[in-house]
């Protein structure tokens, strides 16, 4: 196995976070490197979900106000617990909706076209749901997305130069929506600098944090970011389709939500049942319908683990895992057609390694047959996400070793180079 395997063993032995692996349901027969799509179930999240069911069983309708975690206040409570992960004040965060619903909510709030300032700026590598939401918001206002949705272009098809983004912040831009981390290449965009540049030009700016929350520390309040949205089922390990979250900077406390629903009411007024709404005085105002309690419950336990592990320690290990993986790719897969398409620099790389290969779909199928769970992104992308909570350096070694074997024996050729219905 050689020096590289010995290094993996040494890194695992000195890993201060190694004990958290026992908190998760890890299957020894597989190596799970798809935590950037769906995080694994933790025992803590399982417990808090069962606790929610027990509250329903014990209290019935009174579960909204009774028990250890009353449901009526759960969205705000989870927002308070999430706030440290993104550098926000508790009043600026609420757990609600989904990424797309929350994006619709906040774009409808912050997109205020006036005069010639009517366009929205996005990036051409954005996750499709963000673009769909922006297109529909423009159409609802009577604007043609072909003309009014402006894209920053990528020079290499993988990353962006921040200067190119700033150059696109022209006088006709009314709103900017960008990812914090590009979902394919894992590039981190400089949120602080982009926010300052947008505000210098009197443009509101928001970020999609789906691939950064739980990966590295943020400072959204201090950076002055106007708004942000995210999902909780990737690195936050809250389960498939888990409830999402949103952030609105407190400087916008005077803003009326673009979309309203009864759970955005001030708590003491909600059950007055008046048709004149009294909105909450914090991010809770941006809620719409009744919270999905059983979807939110796993997040209670998951956030406990983040409080114990600490964002800085998780980031340090995440960077070490992906750095070690890139070293192995360069030493063991040389000449096999792979390209490392993610940024190499620690301050520009998110939580996964992104490899490109013309046979990527076949290779991913072969990896699964060898007990490795990767993530395929059409047409030629392989995302590998070692999660610091539950993945090890030894697993990183085994993944690249199996990938080397697949390429040397050409076992990937048994499979069709085509994605499945779900990829």
Known binding site: residues? 99-100, 127-130, 208, 211, 233, 262, 290
The DSSP code sequence of 56-83 is HHHHGGGGGTSSSS-GGGHHHHHHHHHH
Q: Answer for the pair 344, 158: CB distance below 8 angstroms, yes or no.
A: no
Task: Summarize the annotated binding site for pyridoxal 5'-phosphate as residue ranges.
Answer: 99-100, 127-130, 208, 211, 233, 262, 290
Q: Which of 111, 383, 390, 393 is catalytic?
A: 383
E strand or H helix at 7, and its extent?
helix 2-13
Q: Which of 208, 226, 282, 375 is catalytic?
A: 208
Q: Which of 5, 59, 73, 127 is catalytic?
A: 127
Q: Answer for the pair 256, 281: CB distance below 8 angstroms, yes or no.
A: no
> Is 127 part of the annotated catalytic residue set?
yes
> Is 332 part of the annotated catalytic residue set?
no
Q: Which of 110, 160, 233, 324 is catalytic?
A: 233
Spatial neighbors of 321 by CB under 8 A, at least 6 apart, are 386, 388, 391, 393, 396
3-state percent helix, strand, coil for the chain, nearest multiple of 5: 45, 15, 40
DSSP secondary structure code for residue 175 in this structure: E
| 353-356, strands of its sheet edge to edge | 339-340, 353-356, 381-384, 375-377
E strand or H helix at 205, and its extent?
strand 204-208
Q: Which of 21, 119, 234, 377 is catalytic?
A: 234
Cα 122 from Cα 125, distance rounded (Å) = 9
> Is 208 part of the annotated catalytic residue set?
yes
> Is 358 part of the annotated catalytic residue set?
no
Cα 188 from Cα 159, distance rounded (Å) = 9
> Is 233 part of the annotated catalytic residue set?
yes
Q: Answer for the pair 106, 229: CB distance below 8 angstroms, yes or no.
A: yes
Report, as residue numbers or ranges, the catalytic residues.
Answer: 127, 208, 233-234, 383
């Amino acid at each position: 196995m050689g020096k590289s395997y010995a290094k993996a063993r040494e890194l695992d032995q000195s890993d201060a976070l190694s004990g958290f692996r026992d908190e998760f349901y890890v299957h020894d027969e597989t190596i799970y490197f798809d935590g950037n799509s769906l995080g694994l179930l933790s025992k803590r999240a399982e417990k808090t979900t069962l606790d929610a069911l027990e509250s329903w069983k014990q209290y019935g309708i009174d579960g909204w106000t009774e028990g250890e975690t009353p449901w009526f206040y759960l969205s705000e409570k989870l927002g308070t617990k999430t706030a440290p992960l993104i550098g926000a004040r508790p009043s600026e965060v609420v757990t609600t909706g989904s990424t797309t619903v929350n994006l619709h909510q906040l774009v409808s709030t912050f997109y205020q076209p006036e005069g010639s300032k009517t366009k929205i700026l996005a990036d051409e590598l954005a996750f499709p749901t963000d673009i769909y939401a922006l297109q529909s918001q423009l159409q609802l206002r009577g604007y043609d997305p072909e003309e009014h949705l402006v894209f920053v272009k990528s020079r290499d098809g993988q990353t962006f130069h921040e200067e190119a983004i700033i150059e696109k912040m022209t006088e006709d831009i009314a709103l900017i929506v960008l990812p914090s981390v590009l979902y394919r290449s894992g590039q981190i965009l400089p949120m602080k600098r982009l926010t300052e540049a947008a505000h210098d030009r009197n443009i509101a700016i928001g970020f999609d944090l789906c691939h950064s929350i739980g990966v590295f520390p943020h400072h959204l309040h201090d950076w002055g970011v106007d708004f942000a949205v995210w999902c909780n089922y990737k690195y936050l390990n809250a389960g498939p389709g888990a409830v999402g979250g949103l952030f609105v900077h407190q400087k916008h406390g005077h803003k009326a939500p673009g979309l309203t629903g009864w759970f955005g009411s001030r708590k003491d007024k909600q059950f007055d049942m008046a048709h004149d709404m009294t909105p909450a005085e914090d991010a809770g105002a941006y809620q719409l319908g009744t919270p999905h309690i059983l979807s939110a419950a796993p997040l209670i336990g998951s956030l406990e683990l983040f409080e114990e592990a600490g964002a800085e320690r998780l980031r340090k290990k995440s960077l070490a895992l992906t750095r070690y993986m890139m070293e192995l790719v360069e030493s063991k897969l040389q000449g096999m057609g792979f390209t490392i398409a993610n940024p190499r620099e620690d301050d520009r790389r998110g939580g996964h390694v992104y490899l490109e290969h013309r046979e990527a779909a076949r290779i991913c199928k072969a990896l699964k047959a060898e007990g490795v769970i990767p993530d395929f992104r059409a047409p030629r992308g392989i995302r590998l996400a070692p999660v610091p909570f539950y993945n090890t350096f030894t697993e990183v070694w085994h993944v690249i070793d199996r990938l080397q074997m697949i390429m040397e024996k050409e076992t990937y050729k048994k499979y069709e180079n085509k994605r499945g219905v779900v990829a």
